[in-house]
């Protein structure tokens, strides 16, 4: 296990331990730490899965009135931090593990439960090739086993979703994310991914 992987696992464990001790408090349980589980696909057709945890850092309620005849509406402006771990499969090519951490701005409409999110943060992307081969000076080909490479991979996330009222099932979401692989053949390669998932609230309010 290399130093980058060890650091990523330690950060994830820290966020999990902090989340388990956090208090909550709003009609949408927006201050509760939540666990997310998602289908995560590269352009949808290259399948993957992602799980993570998100916790609130700051929150502000904003009253606004959209027209003279409408009632005053409340928006929740929220800053959150999340840690995510997932994998992707590229059939016939390779598989990959990724781990990223984002700071997210979330705008919640309390009258409908709908929300929009934008997030950014650092990450690590590790590719694994199922079989590689080496050709020696005599032209002989020998298998070398599984090989791969790690990349610094910051991520940009845009999302939307809606809060639900079904026990621990808190919300559904649809996110679009771009993972940027640095130093990929001396360049930067963006990976466009789509995520469909749900968040679960296991940390009940008192």
> Cβ distance 153 to 181 under 8 Å?
yes
Residues 113-159: pLDDT tens digits?
Answer: 999 999 999 999 999 887 666 776 777 776 666 678 899 999 999 99
Residues 84-103: pLDDT tens digits?
Answer: 999 999 987 889 999 999 99
Indicate the pTM of the whole model.
0.74
Long-range contacts: 148-152, Cβ < 8 Å, 24+?
148/94, 150/2, 150/4, 150/5, 150/124, 150/125, 150/126, 151/124, 151/125, 151/126, 151/127, 151/181, 151/182, 151/183, 151/184, 152/122, 152/123, 152/124, 152/181, 152/182, 152/183
205 vs 99 pLDDT, higher one: 99
Phi-psi region of 113 (alpha: psi -120 to 50; beta: other; left: phi over 0): left
Strand partners, 51: 37, 85
Residues 187-201: pLDDT tens digits?
Answer: 899 999 999 999 998
CA 63, CA 73: separation in Å to the nearest integer?
6
Per-residue pLDDT at 72: 62
CA 119, CA 173: separation in Å to the nearest integer?
14
The three-point CA angle 33-35-41 to 5° equals 140
Residues 39-56: pLDDT tens digits?
Answer: 999 987 889 999 999 999
Q: For residue 37, is pLDDT > 80?
A: yes
Q: For residue 83, is pLDDT > 80?
A: yes
Per-residue pLDDT at 193: 96
Answer yes or no: CATH 2.60.120 is held by domain 3-16+38-200.
no
In the chain, domain spans:
3-16+38-200
Report percent pLDDT > 90 for the chain: 49
């Amino acid at each position: 296990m290399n130093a980058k992987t060890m650091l990523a696992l330690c950060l994830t464990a820290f966020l999990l331990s902090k989340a388990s001790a956090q208090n909550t408090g709003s009609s949408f349980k927006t201050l509760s730490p939540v666990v997310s589980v998602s289908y995560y696909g590269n352009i949808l057709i290259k399948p993957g899965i992602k799980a993570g945890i998100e916790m609130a850092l700051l929150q502000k309620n904003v009253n606004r009135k959209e027209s003279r005849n409408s009632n005053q509406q409340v928006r929740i402006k929220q800053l959150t931090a999340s840690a995510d771990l997932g994998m992707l499969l590229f059939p016939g090519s390779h598989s990959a593990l990724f781990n990223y951490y984002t700071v997210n701005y979330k705008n919640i409409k309390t009258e409908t439960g709908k929300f929009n999110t934008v997030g950014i943060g650092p990450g690590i992307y590790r590719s694994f090739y199922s079989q590689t081969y080496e050709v020696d000076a005599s032209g002989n080909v020998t298998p070398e086993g599984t090989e791969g490479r790690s990349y610094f991979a910051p991520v940009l996330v845009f999302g939307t979703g809606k809060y639900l009222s079904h026990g621990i099932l808190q919300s559904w979401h649809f996110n679009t994310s771009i993972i940027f692989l640095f130093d990929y053949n001396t360049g930067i390669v963006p990976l466009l991914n789509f995520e469909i998932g749900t968040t679960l609230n296991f940390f009940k309010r008192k």
